Structure 1
Amino acid sequence: MMTSEWGEKSTAELMSRYVSKEPGHGVPKEGWRICLAHEFKEKRKPFQANNVSLSNVWNHIGLGVRYLIWWYKKTQVEKKAPFIDMFRAQPLRQIYGAPLGGIGGGTITRGWRGEFCRWQLNPGMYHFKTVIANQFTVCLRRGGQTVYQQVLSVERPPTLQGWNWGFCGEYAFYHALYPRAWTVYHLPGQNVTLTCRQISPVIPHDYQDSSLPVAVFVWDVENKNDYDLDVSIMFTMVNGSGHKDDKSGGHWNEPFHLEKDGEAVSGVLLHHCTTVNPYTLCIAAREQPDREVSHQTAFSPKGTCRDLWNDLITDGRLDSPTGSSPPTLKGEKVAAALAVGCLVPAHKHNSLEFCLAWDMPKITFGSGEREHFRRYTRYFGIKGDASPSLSHYALTHYKQWESSIEEWQKPILQDSSLPSWYKSALFNELYFVADGGTVWVDLSKDDDVSGGVRSEDGGLPAQPAVVKEYGRFAYLEGQEYRMYNTYDVHFYASFALIMLWPKLALSVQYDIAGSVVQQDLTERLHLMSGLRSPVKTKNVVPHDVGDPDDEPWQRVNAYLIHDTADWKDLNLKFVLQVYRDFHLTLDRQYLQDMWPICQAVMESEIKFDQDGDGLIENSGYADQTYDGWTVTGPSAYCGGLWLASLCVMCKMARLLDESEEYQHYKDFLDRGRAAFDRLLWNGKYYNYDSSGRQLSNSVMSDQCAGHWFLKASGLGDEEYQVFPKEKIQSALKSVFDLNVMSFADGQMGAVNGMRPEGVPDRSSVQSDEVWIGVVYGLAATMIHEGMWAEGMRTAEGCYRTVWERLGMAFQTPEAYCEKNIFRSLAYMRPLSVWAIQLAVNMSQEVSTAAAKTEDNKT
């Protein structure tokens, strides 16, 4: 529940005054709620070069010059968008709500005030434009006369002046529990409550309906008057997305009617006829005997649009022409409207159902080299004529979707041991699985994900069964950091996939494994070092599988700031994920397929143990996911990941009866464990690194990442206890006392680096940031160790900062500082909140087992 202030009134006060007595039909208790009149007081700015300290500017002056040259060539010569645009960071717009649509078919975001305001229809490419004509409007009629007609928007735009704008936001609130959202409107002076329920088919373990590019809006109308009312809802939609190609000409609309299996839907198709990735939008409604469906095929969304307004106000319905609209001329836009009306008796409810669908079956990425077919085309075809069928299916199946969603969420929502804020964080952060520039495509008959190395030579099948059946999946590092399946970050985010859509998690792993054995010896300049080196080195894990503005999967490593072949964490994170995924799926074929790839990347990693003590060393550069924070020699973060990887290699060798390999990795583990303890343990926690530099004893919040993955994989005890329990708990207590409670009064999560004297480590641009996804992983580690209160307190600081204080709902960033700055809105890593739920599940299983044992003894 939002509790920040709006003017002199808090949101909670506004809710109490206007909405809490009758919260609306079916709105759950748990979730994120905000009054439509709310204004966030704090207005943060994105990270810019002028935010960097003078010492850090000097350290990165070469990077700045090289990036500027590269940026100019990319934007001015190649006419392409940079994969990270340091000069055009997205400003903070405190407007976003739950995105519409399933997984991998594109998304449209509807803001919490009702705007259609963020668009990702072309794969991985965003634009942030509010299309003001995309609205819902209500018309109330009594005795044949219209008594009230209002656009359900608080906006007062300079266009469409013939419409009645400016709904008073104090009379409405928005509530999100992804993948559903509710907006409740109390119509002033009308004694009528409207509740719009927004449903997208994002359903765990469902690999069909979850891929559909559709959303349903169900409007519940409650008439609290002593007389009957005729109620109509009108849905207007522009043919396009607010992009410049809306005016490119050749777009046209047509009405449709589809009857199938005794159910009928009708509406308007908006054909968007671009040269690249054309698509059709569809607004549709379900026809029923006591509903009247009408439409306006085409209207111009400029000027006053008074004719459309008067058409509805006259009789609560629209004039419904039967023909198609002519194609638009260049410079013109066209829109369509759909209205549904029904009788709502006195003191009764009734409901109206709408669907928004979009059909872009064939996609090409920025290079235009290959054509891909989205996952949903397996069920609805590739011809581009699926919008009527999609809308019919959505309107006749959404109740089943809701039942499945409720069955999934109910045990967590009803668990009284879990705090309310956590339940909101857990489900609402899941938005990124669909809205992370996500693509989900079928494997073509010619695709080879193995990298060309056959199984008998230590590679993979050309088309592994799981990829062939469930397709290829990719999501961005962030909406501003445009790289697919960024692997050092996916390490954190992957908990959501492996727990909810495990086949997609395994598909990602096969793609990464196939790219491990590939190489691209094309030399390119890396911006940090200024040196030239190959794009991709063989037998190392790639940083990412490519840029959607190029050709993902075919050309990997869009990231060119560092040469990531020298990174110390990527190979280790692959090995750790392989075993964790096996532990959670028990897919033995997967384990067997991944084993030779794990061996290959571990052999590449061993070279980083330059002194032969069994422990890898960092290079003195930023050679891991903290790519702006240098580390020298053995380090807590990479050293811990290394030991954990050796541990799971031993475990996998045992499972696969590889006794020689077991002994090989066990020898490294025994020596490395001793060196790790000797070089990094200081009696309270593990030092940041062992370099002996002034700041080498900083307290890193992420120092137990390796142990976290062991616990999440059911390891860390008895034979496979790598890190002594008392040392882990001491380290976590140090992190809690210093990085959490000594930072921002304990209200903002854990800062990445803290000095033992209780001030943030400001030696880099990242050491004094809070990384939300890292904090959620830290909280999970604490819960694994029985530190429930500390873990929840740590994670709560991030949720309340992002969602309640800073207005970053449905755009959780990678990072924020204590004051003023954030970095990289809408980021992958916070999906690690699902690691907390895994820790909760495992701790509850342990408690249940202990209770049963005690009962048996009794």
Structure 2
Amino acid sequence: MDLNDSRSLSELMGRYEGTETGFGVPKDGWRICLAHEFKEKRKPFQAKDVSLSHIMQHIGLGLRYLKWWYRRTQIEKKAPFIDIFGALPLRQIYGAPLGGIGGGSITRGWKGEFCRWQLNPGMYHYKTVIADQFTVCLRKDGQTIYQQVLSTEHPHTLQDWNWGYCGAFAFYHALFPRAWTVYQLPGQNVTLTCRQVSPVIPHNYKDSSFPVAVFVWDIENKNDYALDVTIMFTMVNGSGHKDEKCGGHWNEPFNLEREGESVSGVLLHHRSPVNPYTLCMAAREQSNRKITHKTAFSPKDTGKAIWSDLMSDGQLDSPPGSSPPTQKGETVAAALAVGCSVPAHGHNSLDFCLTWDMPKITFGSREREHIRRYARYYGTEGDAGPALSHYALMHYKDWEKDIQEWQRPILEDGSLPSWYKSALFNELYFVVDGGTVWVELPEDCDVSGGLRSEEGGLPAQPPVLKEYGRFAYLEGQEYRMYNTYDVHFYASFALIMLWPKLALSLQYDIAGSVVQYDPTQRMNLMSGNCSPVKTRNVVPHDIGDPDDEPWQRVNAYQIHDTADWKDLNLKFVLQVYRDYHLTQDMQYLKDMWPICQVVMETEMKFDKDGDGLIENSGYADQTYDGWVVTGPSAYCGGLWLASVCVMCKMAQLLKSDSVYEQYRDILKRGSAAFDKLLWNGKYYNYDSSGRSMSNSVMSDQCAGQWFLRASGLGDDEFEVFPKEKIRSALKSVFDLNVMSFAGGQMGAVNGMRPEGIPDRSSVQSDEVWVGVVYGLAATMIQEGLLEEGLHTAEGCYRTVWEQTGMAFQTPEAYCEKGIYRSLAYMRPLSVWAIQLALDNRPKSSKTVQEDSEAARLETDLQDEPVKKNCHK
């Protein structure tokens, strides 16, 4: 491309930095040129990446896992909850996912691909369906002058289509739940802006559940003559999965009129034997719009017929009636075209809607049928596509207003850097695309575990569960366990701040499972010992595998016996009070109080010497499940003291004097022991074992203080950790784990030696955990270390989103070089803890002014690489 074209794109990108009006693209968000190529190519963590010493430590685990993996995959024909032999390769292609919460998700890549599918709950496949495209047709004086698939691909099918759009003429911009792709059509003086809108709206529990997305195409004609412009939307009936070749799929056109407004489109009925669904492409009928369709065409041939049909007159032939059912192995696609006139030097717009209707679902066991949340409003017959599309096309502007009102205070806060605003909103993709399910509570369901309130249990059907349903999301797209609780501890900030009813609903489910007991003996892969699947009066690790029967059978994780984990019970107690503090729901606190007492009584058995402080057991018995910890430790000891503190506070609120006195005594003794055994004058040692690595600097050592501050505690009567020691510890973490690692540009490594070398004693100690880093940053900000906190978090954002191409698949972990682990992970939702910390910090005009100047400078620097790439 020539220099003038490069300049025009640069000018285009600048001009489309708008103010949420007209064609405006927001200034803040994640932006990339469609011609961009990421230089860094990382690989997933594999067994060959483990050092010889670590292999020797875990050779038993490896052999047991291999035997279990073979039985699971070859005999039971099930997917393993963690597949170390099938780690996902890095595809640097993903953009903002489509759809609301819990109704299934489809991810659209930043180049326009429909490329990641989660329609069956919690089960993913990663197939780019090449025929799922948008095509533009320009006509002047009755003649087609330009027709182009808006894709940079050059596929081996549909060869008669005009592929290979030059990506240097376009850019993608994401600010979840919306995204913009701006295309300049070379030589045509026409600019198209595709705005992608999904109904992900805080505190909205109706529209946010809808499996629907809207594509708004804004057209700018800078010519001296009018144009007729048509956008054609093509979709395959299905998602390209290998199990979809059963046949019997068929398409049909439809029209729906309600309250004087009509929508038309095509329904793609996908008759899979398990969880059948219907895709629906639709557009709004208006007097100055022409809607036409093609009910069926083959996406496997050259595509000549449909391409020529569109080119001849800018319309499709719109055959009546349905397509015949497909034969076994046959694939069918459909098309919807909408056209309008655009005056010289004028604008116009076209709206499309895509829905996917799978109201009834079964998980892998096929034991129970579940009803998705959105079916409360649109029924369970699987015929909701037209009505959903009608509603979306009539209401998406309201959704956008709500989204703008929610995001505006943060986006307009000049004290916040641009990268942070992108991280805050774009990391929310996981609420939609985390294998998320949101279903109605079955009428026969008893979540109390069989115990009633008078016996120390819960109501059989708590009101929040009956009204708002059940919510679950995966630990990660590769770590297939729902509501993994040690990780949810970090991610939960996003839910409690934005959809608090879902956070409370999840808590009631966890509380009910505490008192349940599953005596089935199962081997733990780490130790080789057998233990019950679920022990009574402890918090479960997770509520199940989507390839089994979640809620019915918990603890899909079987590497360790998590009944002996030290952090799960504590994290439940801390979340109960944090949730109460943020919602002021006294009934919730009362319901949870007996469960808190039960799990804390269970936890006390880990205080072997009676000094008021629990001990770790000498193996990896907490969320760092590959990092051995022995005796009192900074992480679990800190969580324990924070939990004892909130037990005191809850006992005061509920006027339980005897419980208050009990825990007040424990807190006094435990705090003294914690300080004596772990404080070294600068920070809290990793553990008190006296091993060579016991004085490592753990980045997460202040997690207990983090939650206390987030819950409005940590001062005066409830000061557990002295302020000066917390600040000293955080400064040590910043100096060593952040600034002495990777040049201070990649966040905080989990473990660092005092001499400034990463702790390599385990496969996790020398990793960066993105969600932990965001929590650490929040802790720093809570303690007045604003600059340090933002710099720490920025390292992770830059690494993931800009350097390694992991946008919309933020991993659990990465190392300094070459390796990542577990793409698309739950824990980074903890970025919302940073926002809570910012909301709670005292403001000063000086700080705001200084931060604003830094933010403006940072924004200018951030835009430069993208502009340079587009000049290539």
Task: Note whether the superposition's TM-score is higher than 0.5.
Answer: yes
Structure 2 partner of 1:173: 171
Structure 1 partner of 2:646: 648
Structure 2 partner of 1:118: 116
Distance 1:372 1:231, change over 3 A: same
Per-residue CA deviations over 1:195-254 (Å, capped at 9, x if unaligned) read: 000000000000000000000000000000000000000000000001023321000000
Per-residue CA deviations over 1:243-271 (Å, capped at 9, x if unaligned) read: 02332100000000000011100000000
Distance 1:697 1:13, change over 3 A: farther
Distance 1:20 1:8, change over 3 A: same
Distance 1:844 1:359, change over 3 A: farther
Structure 1 partner of 2:14: 20
Structure 1 partner of 2:685: 687
1:615 to 613, 616, 621: 613
Alpha carbons 2:16, 2:24 under 8 Å: kept = no
Q: How do 1:501-580 and structure 2 match up within 5 A?
A: 501-580=499-578
Structure 2 residue 818 is the aligned partner of structure 1 residue 824: no
Distance 1:23 1:785, change over 3 A: closer
Partners of 1:242 and 1:753 in 2: CA distance? 43
Partners of 1:598 and 1:15 in 2: CA distance? 58
Amino acid at match of 2:260: G
Corresponding pairs, count: 842
Alpha carbons 2:115, 2:129 under 8 Å: kept = yes
Question: How far 1:322 moved relative to its partner?
Answer: 1.2
1:33 to 25, 31, 34: 31
Alpha carbons 2:9, 2:184 under 8 Å: kept = no
Amino acid at match of 2:222: K
Question: How far 1:19 moved relative to its partner?
Answer: 3.4
3-state DSSP class of the match of 1:607? helix
Question: How far 1:15 moved relative to its partner?
Answer: 5.4
Alpha carbons 1:201, 1:401 under 8 Å: kept = yes
Structure 1 partner of 2:210: 212
Alpha carbons 1:105, 1:439 under 8 Å: kept = yes
Alpha carbons 2:142, 2:313 under 8 Å: kept = yes
2:286 to 280, 283, 288: 288
Structure 2 residue 389 is the aligned partner of structure 1 residue 391: yes
Partners of 1:707 and 1:822 in 2: CA distance? 29
Amino acid at match of 1:699: V
Alpha carbons 2:17, 2:27 under 8 Å: kept = no
Alpha carbons 1:356, 1:391 under 8 Å: kept = yes
Alpha carbons 2:17, 2:26 under 8 Å: kept = no
Per-residue CA deviations over 1:111-136 (Å, capped at 9, x if unaligned) read: 00000000000000000000000000
CA RMSD of aligned residues (A): 1.5
Q: How do 1:291-690 and structure 2 match up within 5 A?
A: 291-690=289-688
3-state DSSP class of the match of 2:619? coil
Partners of 1:210 and 1:243 in 2: CA distance? 27
Amino acid at match of 1:141: R
Structure 2 partner of 1:802: 800
Distance 1:753 1:361, change over 3 A: same
Per-residue CA deviations over 1:814-842 (Å, capped at 9, x if unaligned) read: 00000000000000000000000000000
Alpha carbons 1:47, 1:822 under 8 Å: kept = yes
TM score, norm. by length of structure 1: 0.97
Partners of 1:496 and 1:782 in 2: CA distance? 19
Partners of 1:691 and 1:532 in 2: CA distance? 27
3-state DSSP class of the match of 1:19? helix
Question: How far 1:13 moved relative to its partner?
Answer: 8.6
Structure 2 partner of 1:856: none
Deviates more, 1:838-847 or 1:185-194: 838-847
Alpha carbons 1:14, 1:35 under 8 Å: kept = no
Partners of 1:14 and 1:512 in 2: CA distance? 55
Amino acid at match of 1:645: S
3-state DSSP class of the match of 2:606? coil
Structure 1 partner of 2:869: none
Distance 1:745 1:14, change over 3 A: farther
**Which runs of 5 or more residues in structure 2 are unaligned?**
849-872
Partners of 2:456 and 2:655 in 1: CA distance? 17
Structure 2 partner of 1:709: 707
Per-residue CA deviations over 1:322-343 (Å, capped at 9, x if unaligned) read: 1000000001000000000000
Amino acid at match of 2:216: V
Amino acid at match of 1:484: Y
Amino acid at match of 2:328: K
Amino acid at match of 2:173: H
TM score, norm. by length of structure 2: 0.95
Per-residue CA deviations over 1:40-95 (Å, capped at 9, x if unaligned) read: 00000000001011110100000000000000000000000000000010000000
Partners of 2:39 and 2:109 in 1: CA distance? 18
Question: How far 1:14 moved relative to its partner?
Answer: 9.4
Question: How far 1:16 moved relative to its partner?
Answer: 2.3
Partners of 1:179 and 1:409 in 2: CA distance? 11
Q: How do 1:186-265 and structure 2 match up within 5 A?
A: 186-265=184-263
Q: How do 1:677-826 and structure 2 match up within 5 A?
A: 677-826=675-824
Amino acid at match of 1:568: K
Distance 1:402 1:658, change over 3 A: same
Partners of 1:8 and 1:569 in 2: CA distance? 59
Structure 1 partner of 2:854: none
Alpha carbons 1:14, 1:170 under 8 Å: kept = no
Structure 2 partner of 1:854: none
Partners of 1:27 and 1:17 in 2: CA distance? 13
Question: How far 1:20 moved relative to its partner?
Answer: 3.0
Question: How far 1:158 moved relative to its partner?
Answer: 1.0
Alpha carbons 1:18, 1:171 under 8 Å: kept = no
Partners of 2:831 and 2:68 in 1: CA distance? 36
Question: How far 1:26 moved relative to its partner?
Answer: 1.7
Structure 2 partner of 1:3: none
3-state DSSP class of the match of 1:418? coil
Alpha carbons 1:254, 1:323 under 8 Å: kept = yes
Partners of 1:826 and 1:524 in 2: CA distance? 29
By relative contact order (CA 8 Å, sep 6+), the higher-ranking structure is: 2
Structure 2 residue 154 is the aligned partner of structure 1 residue 156: yes
3-state DSSP class of the match of 1:322? coil
Question: How far 1:445 moved relative to its partner?
Answer: 1.1
3-state DSSP class of the match of 2:525? coil
Structure 1 runs (4+) deviating above 6 angstroms are 11-14, 845-848
3-state DSSP class of the match of 1:521? strand
Distance 1:707 1:430, change over 3 A: same
Distance 1:8 1:137, change over 3 A: closer
3-state DSSP class of the match of 1:417? coil
Partners of 1:169 and 1:445 in 2: CA distance? 52
Per-residue CA deviations over 1:294-346 (Å, capped at 9, x if unaligned) read: 00001111110110000000000000011000000001000000000000000
Alpha carbons 1:239, 1:246 under 8 Å: kept = no
Question: How far 1:366 moved relative to its partner?
Answer: 0.3
Per-residue CA deviations over 1:431-475 (Å, capped at 9, x if unaligned) read: 000100000001121111111110000000000011110000000
Alpha carbons 1:19, 1:171 under 8 Å: kept = no
Per-residue CA deviations over 1:599-647 (Å, capped at 9, x if unaligned) read: 0000000000001100000000000000000000000000000000000
Partners of 1:55 and 1:686 in 2: CA distance? 27
Partners of 1:118 and 1:317 in 2: CA distance? 30
Q: Among the aligned pairs, what percent are the same residue?
A: 79
Per-residue CA deviations over 1:383-420 (Å, capped at 9, x if unaligned) read: 11100000000000000000000000000000000000
Partners of 1:127 and 1:383 in 2: CA distance? 26
Q: How do 1:51-200 and structure 2 match up within 5 A?
A: 51-200=49-198
